[in-house]
Amino acid sequence: MKTITVCTGKLHRVRVTQARLDYEGSITLDPVLMDAAGIMPYQLVHINSMANAVHWETYAIPGTADSGEVCLNGCPARLFQPGDQVIILSLEQMTRDEAMGLKPKVVLVDANNKIRELV
């Protein structure tokens, strides 16, 4: 069965709250944001910087609920800085038939990474 990769969730213009170089890697996210965008723990995500167009791929790990946390860990801490706005995309493999009925979850946030709207 052939599959395609589709975007199933998006955290739009969340702000980086921390960048920790001394960590093994990943992005730590507020689990409330993860849930709203349909991002599973340890799922591969794409991170795109609004500041410098950098694109990074890593896995998401849950942080503290209701904290607004968006922390780049390890190597990407050199590319993303606190205050930077980023777009985080979650992708999944599915058949074309499954993708036809897909309704991606888009999460818009305020300046503190609190959910403002679900699109």
Distance CA 44, CA 93 (A): 12
User: Backbone dihedral region of 26: left (phi > 0), alpha (psi from -120 to 50 degrees) or beta?
Assistant: left
> Amino acid identity of 36?
A
DSSP one-letter string for 66-88: TS--EEEESGGGGT--TT-EEEE
* Active-site position among 23, 49, 59, 67: 59
26 is catalytic: yes
* Active-site position among 26, 49, 67, 90: 26
Using DSSP's 3-state secondary structure scheme, residue 76 falls into helix
Paired tokens of 57 = 């791929």
Active site residues: 26, 59
